[in-house]
Amino acid sequence: MSPANPAPWGSSFRLVAAEKWKAKSAAMGCAVTDALVEYSRPLPGMRVLDLASGTGEPAISLAQRVASQGSVTAVDQSSELLEIAAERASNKKLLNFTTQQADAHLLPFADYSFDLATCRFGVMFFSDPQRALRELRRVLKPGARACFAAWGPMEQPYWQTTIQIVHRHVGGSLLPAGGADPFRFAASGSLPEVLSAAGFHEVEESTQNLPWTWPGDAEEVFEYFCQVSAPFRPMLERVSADHWPVIRAEAKAAIERYRVGDEIRFGAEIVFVSGKA
């Protein structure tokens, strides 16, 4: 699918994009996944909840860490993406991994069910973060940690070479008013404030600059961005067909500056936040 003619966004299209790019997307995000797993400090025997799990990370990595005596439940609103996650876990012969289609604002679990919760690049998209985090605290055991990874500011290589180039050409709103915002918690203290308001204590925040490496070429990076970046869909759809070649050429040149051998090596500024129930 060429970004010169982006397909309408929908669950079926998201599934096709997720399936097509799952290996390279996982490779690009592996440093963030590994960092979140280390940050969450899983122990054998823990019962873990992973929110907005999508195609399965960090849930799959966590299932390997909590071992057979522990378990991981991957939650997402998309049953199709969870099917990919379940297939990936099955390929790794993980018997302690389960999926559950659910809304983070209304979790289908009993009080005090989990020893640990994680969420990688999901909390920014909750329609009511404080409500969702209160619901998360309900299903955690007292003293259990909830650990989040969120995007830092837009002013970093991956976004500057993709969405910012498109925005320079089309102008107008970057994101729909009141819509999903990947950078919602980029500002220091913003996610800790919501976590504290939801009743979590011993809230901590840190920022890490991590590898964000695409194992392929610049054209693929831009195509991937256009296919999976749902929050920016309205802006992408404002681009006229005859304008796409110019945008694509400019983006390719910008992305190529980060090429090292056969890889595009961006860095990513990621915000990590945790709190205890």
Q: Encode pLDDT of 231-255 as tens digits.
A: 898 899 999 999 999 999 999 999 9
Q: Encode pLDDT of 83-108 as tens digits.
A: 989 999 999 999 999 999 999 999 99
Q: Encode pLDDT of 204-236 as tens digits.
A: 999 999 999 999 999 999 999 988 888 898 899
How many domains is the chain partitioned into structurally?
A: 1
CA distance 171 to 160: 15
Query: Which is more confidently placed, 40 or 8?
Result: 40
Q: Encode pLDDT of 123-169 as tens digits.
A: 999 999 999 999 999 999 999 999 999 999 999 999 999 999 999 99
> Residue 12: pLDDT above 70?
no
Which pLDDT belongs to residue 179?
82
Does residue 19 lie within any of the structural domains? yes
Confidence class for position 17, pLDDT limits 50, 70, 90: low
> Residue 1: pLDDT above 60?
no
Does residue 169 lie within any of the structural domains? yes
Confidence class for position 18, pLDDT limits 50, 70, 90: low
Residue 183: which residues within 8 A CB-CB, separation 6 or more? 124, 151, 152, 153, 154
Which pLDDT belongs to residue 5?
37
Q: What CATH number is given to the structural domain containing 268?
A: 3.40.50.150
Q: Encode pLDDT of 180-212 as tens digits.
A: 899 999 999 999 999 999 999 999 999 999 999
**Over residues 51-80, mean pLDDT:** 95
Which pLDDT belongs to residue 178?
82
Question: What value does the mean pLDDT of the chain take?
Answer: 91
**Over residues 59-68, mean pLDDT:** 96
Which pLDDT belongs to residue 23?
82
CA distance 160 to 14: 23
The boundaries of the domain holding residue 107 are 11-276
Which pLDDT belongs to residue 92?
95
Does residue 1 lie within any of the structural domains? no
Does residue 184 lie within any of the structural domains? yes
Does residue 5 lie within any of the structural domains? no
Does residue 2 lie within any of the structural domains? no
Does residue 117 lie within any of the structural domains? yes
Does residue 4 lie within any of the structural domains? no
- On whether the CB atoms of residues 199 and 136 are closer than 8 A, the answer is no
